[in-house]
Amino acid sequence: MKLTQNYKRIVIKIGTSSLLDPLGSLSQEKLLRIVEQCVKVRRLNKEVILVSSGAIASGKEILKSLANRKDLPAKQALAAIGQIRLMQYYSNLFSLFKQPVAQILLTAEDLNDRKRYLNISYTFETLLKEGVIPIVNENDTVAVDEIKIGDNDTLSAKVACAVNSDLLIILSDVEGVYTKDPHLDPSAKLISEIYEIDENLEKSAGPGKGTGGMYTKISSARIVMEAGIPMVLASSEVQEVIIRIIMGEKIGTYFIPKKEHRKRRKHWLLFITKPEGKVYIDEGAVEAIIKKGKSLLPVGIKKVEGNFSNGDVVSICDINGEEIGRGISNYSSFELNRIIGKTREEIVELGNFIYEEAIHRDNLVLKESEKINQ
């Protein structure tokens, strides 16, 4: 399949390893190469969002005393220093072409909250409408494990979904997805097109040099494909790689989504949010949800795990612990623990429980089934 030239909005992710010279320092030559291509894409009357790694690596050049430390405060300090330096490079290079840019730093919390998620989308829309190229990175200076997105592959996929992108391009130190690990097996062949991501593909994913590795790139492809967004994984070392991809040349691996995909809100629930807890439900509730499209009632819940508030997203698991979907809980974990397993009549007698459903079907999404209409 050939890429078309009709992509209006494009998210481009560049990994740390693709921005460094052999000594591990930021390479102005590589940065300029990316900047020039982004400007060319803009001059094709297309919108560009750049998700760029490299802040911590940049910080290590300045604060060498922290360069070898692995603890979170050291990484946050390096990110604080390095992010400014990274943006200075980008700002100076883009200004050579009179191209305005903006900085957007995100954490998982920004994407987990539906209102903040939508506000972020509106900010992107305004910037793109004004011809600005947003440069995005995770806000490593404040992100702890609980609110970290984790890697910029995943961040770029979530941003692509938030802005309803037409294409995601991930540039890395690898040429694409191979049948086997090319570092270990010379007979490995590049897979030029992928229509579906299954367990075998995930298991065969070979490592990359960057933080995320190949597994996160495959996972990112799954996120955007479920939203109906195609993705290309290619090597940043290919000459004019972004332009050639935009113009339809087959480079790297092209992940082709199905025409049927989830509605944006349902996709956000399943792929963008981070569940705050779990509810375990019995077989009857599983059947009611999957086969009949019903809401989840308290009577079908067997156990509640975690500490969450009403309005938080929770995982819905069967009695064996397998996640079957996610949903927005009408009740806190404390409240749910008081009413699990109870009928409507029993709940009414307790008072102060205004919702019949623990999770309404409009706020519930299944992992595998009913994808077309969800």
Give the DSSP per-residue string, 192-247.
Answer: -EES---HHHHHHPPP-SSSSHHHHHHHHHHHHHHTT--EEEEETTSTTHHHHHHT
Question: What are 277's strand-pairing partners?
Answer: 306, 314
- Looking at the DSSP assignment, which residues form a beta bridge with residue 317? 280, 323
Rg of the chain on CA atoms, in Å = 22
**pLDDT at residue 211 above 60?**
no
- Strand, coil or helix: what is 65? helix
Split at pLDDT 50, 70, 90, the class of 302 is very high
Task: Using a pLDDT cut of 90, give the percent of the chain over it.
Answer: 55
Does residue 197 surpass a pLDDT of 80? yes
What distance in Å separates the CA atoms of residue 314 and residue 360, rounded to the nearest whole number? 12
pLDDT at 87 over 60: yes
Chain centroid to Cα 141, Å, comes to 19
In the chain the domains, ranked by start, together with CATH numbers, are 9-261 (3.40.1160.10), 275-366 (2.30.130.10)
- Helix/strand/coil for 281: strand
Between 227-231, 236-240, 283-287, 352-356, the lowest mean confidence (pLDDT) is in 352-356
Instruction: Give whole-number Cα distances, 274 to 66, 75, 271, 324, 337, in Å.
Output: 31, 23, 8, 15, 21
pLDDT of residue 264: 76
CA distance 255 to 363: 29
**Residue 277 per-residue DSSP state:** E
pTM of this structure: 0.80
Segment 148-153 shows an average pLDDT of 71
pLDDT for position 373: 44
The overall average pLDDT reported for the chain is 87
What are the pLDDT digits (tens) for 264-282? 778 888 888 889 999 999 9
Read off the pLDDT of each residue in 160-164 and give the average, rounded to a whole number. 91
pLDDT classification of 146: cutoffs 50, 70, 90: very low
Query: How many CA within 13 A on the CB side of residue 237?
Result: 7
